[in-house]
Structure 1
Amino acid sequence: MLRPARLVTLALTRPKPVLAVWLVLVAAAALVAIRLDPALTAGGFSDPRSPSAQAETLIEHAFGDEPNQSLVVLTGTHTVSPADVATATRILRENGAVTVTGPSTTPSLASSDGSTVVLAAGFPGSNADVQSKTPEIQSALHDISGVDAYLTGQPALDYALNAHSKEDATRAELIAFPVLVITLLVVFGSLAAALLPLALAGSALAVSYALGYLATRFTDISILYTNIVSMVGLAVAIDYSLFIVKRYREELARGADSDTALRTAFSTAGRSVLFSGIAVAVALVSLFIPRLMAFTSIALGGIVVTVVALLLSLSALPAALVLLGPRINWGTLPLRARAGHPAGAHAPRAAARTRSMVTGLIAAAMLVVVAGPTLGLSLQSPVASATILPPQDPARVGLETAQARIGDHDLFPIQVIVSAPASTAPAAFLREVSRITSLAAARSDVSAAGSVTSAGVPMAQLERSLATPGAIPPSLRTMLTRDNGNFVARVVVTAADGPDSVAAHRLVAALRDEPRPATYSIAVTGATAQGLDFDTALEGSLPWIVGFVFLLTFAMLLVAFRSPLLPLLALAFNTLVVGASLGILALLTDLVTRTPVNSVTPVLLFAVMFGLSMDYMVIIISRMIEEHRAGRTFDEAVTIGATSTRGMINSAAVIMVAVFASFTSAQISIVREIGIGLGVAVTLDALVIRMLVMPAVLRLIGPRALPGHPQVTAVEGDRHSDALAPRRQPVMSPDA
């Protein structure tokens, strides 16, 4: 197995072959990466192992419901004509619809004034097959004159989600790259030094997209894979390059030759990059715990691009730096020279130290207050709506038009499936179905409930039909059937407050808990039940996700610092950052969109930020330990550690914020939320926690906060040991 130290050594000693291998890999990856988008899957916000998913399978098998339901919404200023309905029906059937239901059989699919009509079409095959027909159906519907026609429903919504996801990633990259060029030019003051991290970032994205396509050959991958690869990939690839290139140029500026400068950079900053990359990947592993496609795709994308960026930083980057040598300063801009930290910096005077502690503690208290709204967050994924799409998208417009003019009654009903063995008396089974129907209809949170027992058919006729196999009339088979000899009935329930409301979720839980005879089973499905099951699976995984990340973060920092106190402080700081950023995000989304935060966002923000903030903690604390071991007082070590790393930390934070801010232009709401949340979190982490709160807390604790164990070495910024290592010393520690 090739260790990181050996990988760096190989790149330093044989730079041309290493770069040649990477160039071939990136070129081949680019050819494969262009095939990724069509292979990705929309959705991922449902639990395939949930009770609602099992009930959905039972419905398809017992009642013959088609697996994919699309909706056509016809609306205008006047009554929709039968001819328009017939034209839309013909278009649907020509494109593969097996069933088409409209107002002629279900009057509630038309508005009271007849100006809006909904057609529900059932399609066989996979969701991807129906998605592929969306552009053709929508184009044909646009030709219907006199009405506005919209294709919506799950396949059309998924198609739109795919299209907007691709547009969002492309737009964000086009916004981010020019901003990053300017930012890196300001940070480095050199064109060559600025372009090198961008080249590595582009290579990391290409390889990660290609690996994502290969993964789709074996499993379903969500469209969120593309967004997370762009978001995390640009941030970590450029930041890792920044740490190493900045340290390399500093060593050149001190008069070191190129080889010595490279070895110093990779024995210090290189170790920080290695630690940070592992931390990000480990934190993202926690997102596999829920076993939900949206999270597994995000975890896979984040881990893949982080590992690829890490490999590039420890192989292609040193190889490129060897070949460039002092030419890394090519294209130097006439910028004002930065003032370095004076070697003889002192600890602040007592009054200044007290002010610093008070300021830091006040900042921490303010973050606690800002994090307050997080306690009131409810995790809920809006599966029965299209709010994740931009307001002008046709699929969203069509769905919201139908909801506004007709209502949710027949669009997202709750379906209760009652089943019993064939040995059950037909009369007893029908009485149980009738009881459940009446019980649901009597609830204050239900606007309507119906089943075969409330359809006006005499009970004696229903008993005879059920007792004789094959005797159930076709008109009743959508509500009553026999499946493998068992009796199966469907009860359709409409929630009074809408399918995505908290009351509707409670209604699903109540229906599932309804007592029934021992041999009977009751299954509840529909969009509301699917959303509830997704949220339940996520909430059940939260303690495991938090525990996993906390435990691994503590263990990694314990190894780095040989002190239990610093890892505990890191957990507290990171929790404070995540809580405050979620509080700000919740406030912003409520003010701007008046919609709740998607249940995916807090979990993703938690996992990603715990990984990304690790390098800041390690860099600053390592430098403080370093100065303390070199003989400085505790106060001097804290002051120098915080001030000497401030420029690097702030530069890295600016780059990350620039990347995350570019995703605030996303049309998909969840991507926009993640971009805002991560941007706010990185800003708070770099400017408030690391520069104000952490020094204040360390001074409050005193010298025991910094361990003096002789095995503790700097991860970055060591100017007293690794920086002066002889040429033949390993470029990274032997256990790296």
Structure 2
Amino acid sequence: MFPFLGGLTGRHPWLIVWLGAILVALGSLYSLDLMQRLTLAPGWEVPDSGSDVTVRVMRDQLGRDETPVILLFRPRSAELGDADSPAYRAAVEEVLGAVAHNADVRSVLSYHGSGDTRFRSRDGREVYAVAQLARGSDEGLAAFERLRAQVRSERVEVLLGGELATYYDIRAQLEIDILRAEVVSFLVLAVLLVWVFGSVVAAMLPLIVGGVTIILSVALLKWFTQFIDISVYAANVVSMLGLALAIDYALFIVSRFREELARDPDVRASLMTTLRTAGRTVAYSGMTVAASLFCLLMLPQRFFQNMGLAGGISVAGAMLTSILLLPALLALLGHRVNRLALPVLARRVARQSDGGRWYRFSYFVMRRAWLVLIATLGLLLVLGWPVLHMAIGPADSKSLPLSAESRQVQDSLEQRFQHADMSPLVVTVHAGGPVQEAAGLAGLHELTRRIRELPGVLAVKGLVSIDDKLELADYELLYAYPEQFAMASETLATYARGEHSVLYVEYAHPHTSPEARELVRAIRAMSPPQGIQDFHVGGFPAFHLDYLESLGKWVPWTILAIVVVIFVLLFFMLGSVLIPLKAVLTNLLSLSATFGALVWMFQDGNLSSWLNFTPQGSMDGTILVLIFAAAFGLSIDYEVFLLSRVKEMCQHSQDNQRAVATGIQRSGPIITSAALLIGVVLGAFAMGEVVFMKAMGLGLLLSVIVDATLVRMLLVPASLRLLGHLNWWAPRPLMRLYQRFNMSELDSESARGGRENER
């Protein structure tokens, strides 16, 4: 295939370039409104779990498809007094009066309307209200924007918080972060690429590939929004991985083309060799990274599936642009790829040859292979030590900067209010018959009694708990004639419809605590009392429990799939059993060091003031899964580039140590440059204000640093030296399979062996 691509790009470069330009123009126009097409809801819920079923029952059976929005009130001047002053109350009720007439608002619960002291701050300076906002087909986004425009007052400051407000602020911040990261990346990369290549023309090519990759990937992502809901986080993943890998792949291909051009002035022949070697390796590397990310599709949560899809799109875009458009550009440029060379840098590039610093350093490591191996493994284990006390927790508005409105609301509720946790457990009950009849009420009464007796339960609100003085017989009489009792008709409208009813369970524990999750387990362990067909438990603690249990069930299988897929692909690339095994083990160690550093920073709070984030005392499991999949693929990316070159040298020299040293000398500077460039991209995204993207960018950056230094410079040459000729060993049946489906960059054309020997 690659000789064919080389011939095609050599014969018709203008055709490919024009087709690429047309696709870029169309993609740019098509993807202009991408952020508006992405859903605010991350998609962390576990399909068909108890919490997910509860949401569906509330929406489909009880007609309750609302999301709570918190309205926090602060006086603009001290003259307004505290929350109990007539002037303060009048100012708040003026705003809430307008909110109550908003067609999008289903109900409003406030301090002045209910007298509930939980809605009043300890010092009496702040109060809040909870408005239940209709979601609608756009998740409540339009309704939220109308509400935000409505709650204006000259006497009190009104801040909006809650889940929807947090997602709204995250989307707005992500748009800013993406634009800033892309601009910073391109500016810094432009300078560094000139330093790496010593030529302005050569330096521009990876930037062109990066820009084209982002545009095409974003356009393809928007196309998928026609069929599935895709989270706003996916746009960051596309930009970050697409740009990073595009620069990575373009660097390898342009470097190899210039290397071949220096030996053979025939542009077409050099291009053919480049695609047959570096082009094939880039394609194979793209397959490994994409396969690693696509394994996220095994996880049931839509969020992970979105990230796997976005990552796969960006990798495919980078790979295809690098092996199709870039060779056409190189064919058109020919020897002009070295134009606008800076003399000092050009001489530095030209000095790179066998016997250089990388060659000598490799021999230094191989002469002390056991010492280097033990010391490096020990250092990686020390770096990974903090993983032992890692805690998994949920993300919330603390992921946003302090300036975000929803973040200010959450901080105020936590710091100034006595008990402002508005996350009750939601228990949906199916009675099997009309719930207000005797059998249904008896079952509800018994279930309510059992839940009240559980430790930590403060109150249970539902059909049979509106007044502690009423007995079961009183409720039966009350709901038998609801038209005669206003309280009965109102309560039925609030808590029941047909065969379904809902209980709200208030509890004493923080909603993210293990005690809250144990309470969920205790309720779910109950058998349905007589008169109740089934019930499900939802609310945030239940969602959190389902999320953690889903991770515990599916993440090990996902990791196993990633490892197996990478192992198989590396075997078909290199024809070895031990090298893929070594690569998997060293990458797992490398990732443990990365996770240890992340725990030390984001969970323990070290460097939080420098990195400008608020530590939450736990790690978001979502981030860890994504980093594992992406970082594992990126690590294998460098493994493929290095080992394919080492095998190339080994097959022609038959001297293992010399092949390792020469291969590292040839690929080491390029891999280091690639790590530096990809680090710039990841670092730019780590500058973002949303903690999720900051942690992911920084985690991938740390992974690249560890991989390019401790692994590639120390572990790889030491282990290759110790394994010797066993590096390329495989059992005979597997070797025959490899020879049949050989995907190595060294094809069967032995005619070029003499030329390769000169390398």
1:319–1:114 CA distance, 2 compared to 1 (3 A): same
* Structure 2 Cα separation of the partners of residues 320 and 351 of structure 1: 40
Structure with greater helix percent: 2
**Displacement of 1:358:** 0.8
Aligned AA (1:695): P
**Displacement of 1:488:** 2.5
- Whether contact under 8 Å (1:36, 1:213) holds in the other structure is yes
1:349–1:517 CA distance, 2 compared to 1 (3 A): closer
Aligned to 1:680: 702
Aligned AA (2:286): G
**Displacement of 1:469:** 7.2
* Structure 1 Cα separation of the partners of residues 224 and 363 of structure 2: 59
Q: 2:268 aligns with which of 253, 256, 259?
A: 259
Q: 2:92 aligns with which of 85, 110, 114?
A: 85
1:462-541 matched pairs, under 5 angstroms:
462-467=475-480, 473-477=488-492, 480-481=495-496, 483-484=497-498, 486=499, 488-494=501-507, 496-517=508-529, 519-541=532-554
Aligned AA (1:202): G
Residues 408-435 of structure 1: per-residue CA shift (max 9 Å, x gap) = 5552111223342338895665555455
Shifted more, 244-253 versus 459-468: the winner is 459-468
**Displacement of 1:451:** 4.2
**SS of structure 2 residue aligned to 1:150:** strand
Aligned to 1:594: 615
* Structure 2 Cα separation of the partners of residues 700 and 111 of structure 1: 67
1:151–1:423 CA distance, 2 compared to 1 (3 A): closer
Aligned to 1:117: 127
Aligned to 2:316: 307
Aligned to 1:67: 66
* Structure 2 Cα separation of the partners of residues 470 and 505 of structure 1: 40
Q: 2:658 aligns with which of 625, 631, 636?
A: 636
**SS of structure 2 residue aligned to 1:672:** helix
* Structure 2 Cα separation of the partners of residues 13 and 98 of structure 1: 66
* Structure 2 Cα separation of the partners of residues 317 and 575 of structure 1: 33
**Displacement of 1:651:** 0.8
**Displacement of 1:18:** 0.8
**Displacement of 1:254:** 2.7
- Whether contact under 8 Å (2:431, 2:533) holds in the other structure is yes
Residues 466-489 of structure 1: per-residue CA shift (max 9 Å, x gap) = 4457677134236643x33x2624
Aligned AA (2:96): T
- Whether contact under 8 Å (1:235, 1:659) holds in the other structure is yes
Aligned to 1:225: 234
1:657-736 matched pairs, under 5 angstroms:
657-707=679-729, 715=745, 722=752
**Displacement of 1:702:** 3.2
**SS of structure 2 residue aligned to 1:315:** helix
- Whether contact under 8 Å (1:228, 1:298) holds in the other structure is yes
* Structure 2 Cα separation of the partners of residues 544 and 645 of structure 1: 34
* Structure 2 Cα separation of the partners of residues 425 and 126 of structure 1: 29
- Whether contact under 8 Å (2:362, 2:664) holds in the other structure is no
Aligned AA (1:89): L
**Displacement of 1:112:** 4.9
* Structure 2 Cα separation of the partners of residues 258 and 430 of structure 1: 85
Residues 133-153 of structure 1: per-residue CA shift (max 9 Å, x gap) = 444433443x31333211122
**Displacement of 1:33:** 1.4
Aligned to 2:27: 29
Aligned AA (1:395): S
**Displacement of 1:719:** 13
Q: 2:340 aligns with which of 331, 334, 349?
A: 331
Q: What is the count of residue pairs matched by the alignment?
A: 718
**SS of structure 1 residue aligned to 2:699:** helix
- Asked if residue 247 in structure 1 is aligned to residue 256 in structure 2, the reply is yes
- Asked if residue 342 in structure 1 is aligned to residue 354 in structure 2, the reply is yes
- Whether contact under 8 Å (1:131, 1:158) holds in the other structure is no
- Whether contact under 8 Å (1:625, 1:707) holds in the other structure is no
- Whether contact under 8 Å (1:666, 1:672) holds in the other structure is yes
1:350–1:599 CA distance, 2 compared to 1 (3 A): closer
**Displacement of 1:504:** 1.6
Residues 351-372 of structure 1: per-residue CA shift (max 9 Å, x gap) = 8644343123211121122223
* Structure 2 Cα separation of the partners of residues 137 and 331 of structure 1: 57
- Asked if residue 53 in structure 1 is aligned to residue 52 in structure 2, the reply is yes
- Whether contact under 8 Å (2:62, 2:500) holds in the other structure is no
**Displacement of 1:157:** 1.8
Question: TM-score, normalised to structure 1's length?
Answer: 0.91
**SS of structure 1 residue aligned to 2:678:** helix
**Displacement of 1:723:** 7.6
Question: TM-score, normalised to structure 2's length?
Answer: 0.88
Aligned AA (2:91): D
* Structure 1 Cα separation of the partners of residues 418 and 220 of structure 2: 44
Residues 231-267 of structure 1: per-residue CA shift (max 9 Å, x gap) = 1011111111100100111122234322222111111
1:159-558 matched pairs, under 5 angstroms:
159-334=168-343, 335=345, 336-338=347-349, 339-342=351-354, 353-382=366-395, 385-407=396-418, 409=420, 411-422=422-433, 429-430=440-441, 432-456=443-467, 457-459=469-471, 460-467=473-480, 473-477=488-492, 480-481=495-496, 483-484=497-498, 486=499, 488-494=501-507, 496-517=508-529, 519-558=532-571
Residues 387-445 of structure 1: per-residue CA shift (max 9 Å, x gap) = 22222200121233233333555521112233423388956655554554454444444
Structure 1 runs not aligned, ≥5 long: 727-736
Identity of aligned residues (%): 29
**Displacement of 1:642:** 2.6
**SS of structure 2 residue aligned to 1:47:** coil
Aligned to 1:730: none
Aligned to 1:132: 142
Shifted more, 603-612 versus 455-464: the winner is 455-464
Shifted more, 224-233 versus 624-633: the winner is 624-633
* Structure 1 Cα separation of the partners of residues 708 and 585 of structure 2: 15
- Whether contact under 8 Å (1:609, 1:681) holds in the other structure is yes
* Structure 2 Cα separation of the partners of residues 580 and 402 of structure 1: 36
**Displacement of 1:672:** 0.7
Shifted more, 512-521 versus 617-626: the winner is 512-521
Residues 215-244 of structure 1: per-residue CA shift (max 9 Å, x gap) = 112221111111001110111111111001
* Structure 1 Cα separation of the partners of residues 365 and 217 of structure 2: 49
Residues 549-593 of structure 1: per-residue CA shift (max 9 Å, x gap) = 111111111111222111111110111111110111111112223
**SS of structure 1 residue aligned to 2:382:** helix
Aligned to 2:611: none
1:151–1:30 CA distance, 2 compared to 1 (3 A): same
Structure 2 runs not aligned, ≥5 long: 609-613
1:5–1:644 CA distance, 2 compared to 1 (3 A): closer
* Structure 2 Cα separation of the partners of residues 686 and 351 of structure 1: 17
**SS of structure 1 residue aligned to 2:221:** helix
**SS of structure 1 residue aligned to 2:619:** coil
**Displacement of 1:210:** 1.2
**Displacement of 1:453:** 3.9
Shifted more, 215-224 versus 112-121: the winner is 112-121
Aligned AA (2:185): A
**Displacement of 1:450:** 4.3
Q: 1:99 aligns with which of 101, 107, 111?
A: 107
**Displacement of 1:386:** 1.3
Residues 253-283 of structure 1: per-residue CA shift (max 9 Å, x gap) = 2343222221111111101101011111111
* Structure 2 Cα separation of the partners of residues 255 and 562 of structure 1: 30
Aligned to 1:734: none
* Structure 2 Cα separation of the partners of residues 7 and 134 of structure 1: 52
1:349–1:5 CA distance, 2 compared to 1 (3 A): closer
Aligned AA (1:11): T
* Structure 1 Cα separation of the partners of residues 335 and 555 of structure 2: 50
- Whether contact under 8 Å (1:561, 1:707) holds in the other structure is no
- Whether contact under 8 Å (2:577, 2:728) holds in the other structure is no
* Structure 2 Cα separation of the partners of residues 690 and 571 of structure 1: 13
Aligned to 1:150: 159
Aligned to 1:624: 646
* Structure 2 Cα separation of the partners of residues 167 and 719 of structure 1: 51
**SS of structure 2 residue aligned to 1:118:** strand
